[in-house]
């Protein structure tokens, strides 16, 4: 009896420490590979919000996938200026901002955000909103995966299509249409900066009815937009337009 128990225990341990990690590795890698080309049409956050606002008759989910070339260059620059100024330089984790956040915590100040666009994209696409060390570890794995498999251009494209930009609004196209009555391709620099200024808390801040804080933040974002590195794909787009 004791031998049978030990044998079964050994099998379970083998499954737990060998097969479960292997299944997780291959299944998550496959998911990331598929979404390198397939549009992300629904996310765990969208499902979470649908449950959260189930009793709100005015709540509705608005989302329209648009390829990156159909999203205003200003919108692309605005989210980088707002959320991740070193997006084109890091490998998924901004260690400069992480060090600043840790230093602020040591000095007793409120912890500042250090989450990159890559991390936010991984979180939005693959995970439910929650806080735990296990979840952080899984988020780190997905962040490394999308950086390696998708690359920066695809990461920004997915981010600009799934990021929450208002109550029930996901992605730049939904935000542009519902807040400014136009397509994401036609967003101005100012409108893009106002949308980006709401991203830390899009459920309480509105780009089309900005508070004084959002206006001030949008001003800072517009200033940063002219200072950060322009992505290669946008530089190529500008060169093509000049030749025309």
- CATH (domain of 125): 1.10.3810.10
For range 62-70, the mean pLDDT: 96
20 assigned to some structural domain: no
pLDDT value at residue 230: 94
Run of H or E including 165? strand 164-166
For range 151-168, the mean pLDDT: 97
Give the three-state DSSP class for 87. Answer: coil
- Is the pTM higher than 0.85? The answer reads yes
Give the pLDDT band of residue 233 (cuts 50, 70, 90). Answer: very high
15 assigned to some structural domain: no
104 assigned to some structural domain: yes
Six-digit token string for 219: 């001003």
Q: What is the total count of domains within the chain?
A: 1
Give the pLDDT band of residue 99 (cuts 50, 70, 90). Answer: confident
Distances (CA, A) of 184 to 64, 153, 175, 176, 205: 10, 17, 8, 5, 19
In this predicted structure, the answer to whether residue 158 has a pLDDT above a threshold of 90 is yes
pLDDT value at residue 244: 62
The 10s digit of each residue's pLDDT in 187-225 is 999 999 999 999 989 999 999 999 999 999 999 999 999
Run of H or E including 63? strand 62-63
In 3D, which of 180, 189, 156 has the Cα closest to residue 78?
Answer: 189
Please, which residues have CB within 8 angstroms of residue 183's CB and are 6 or more apart in sequence?
Answer: 70, 173, 176, 177
First to last CA, the chain: 82
pLDDT value at residue 133: 86
183: domain range?
46-53+60-243
5 assigned to some structural domain: no
- Indicate the range of 21-25, 106-110, 181-185, 204-208 predicted with least confidence: 106-110
How far, in whole angstroms, is CA 180 from its chain's centroid?
22
24 assigned to some structural domain: no
Distances (CA, A) of 206 to 36, 73, 99, 217, 227: 31, 21, 31, 12, 25
14 assigned to some structural domain: no
10 assigned to some structural domain: no
Contact 45, 128 (CB under 8 A): yes
41 assigned to some structural domain: no
In 3D, which of 178, 230, 228, 172 has the Cα closest to residue 199?
Answer: 172
């Amino acid at each position: 009896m004791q031998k049978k128990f030990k044998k079964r225990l050994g099998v379970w341990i083998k499954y737990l420490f060998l097969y479960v990690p292997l299944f997780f590795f291959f299944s998550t890698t496959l998911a990331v590979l598929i979404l390198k080309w397939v549009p992300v049409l629904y996310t765990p956050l969208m499902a979470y919000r649908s449950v959260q606002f189930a009793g709100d008759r005015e709540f509705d989910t608005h989302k329209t996938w648009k390829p990156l070339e159909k999203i205003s260059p200003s919108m692309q620059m605005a989210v980088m200026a707002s959320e991740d100024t070193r997006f084109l330089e890091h490998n998924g984790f901004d260690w400069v901002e992480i060090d600043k956040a840790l230093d602020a915590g040591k000095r007793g100040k409120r912890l500042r955000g250090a989450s990159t666009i890559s991390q936010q994209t991984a979180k939005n696409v693959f995970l439910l909103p929650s806080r735990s060390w296990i979840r952080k570890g899984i988020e780190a794995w997905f962040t490394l995966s999308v950086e390696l498999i998708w690359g920066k251009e695809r990461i920004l494209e997915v981010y600009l299509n799934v990021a929450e930009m208002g109550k029930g609004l996901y992605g730049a196209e939904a935000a542009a249409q519902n807040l400014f009555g136009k397509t994401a391709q036609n967003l101005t620099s100012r409108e893009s900066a106002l949308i980006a200024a709401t991203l830390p808390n899009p459920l309480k801040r509105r780009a089309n009815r900005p508070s004084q804080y959002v206006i001030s933040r949008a001003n800072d974002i517009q200033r940063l937009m002219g200072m950060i590195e322009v992505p290669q794909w946008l530089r190529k787009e500008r060169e093509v337009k000049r030749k025309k």
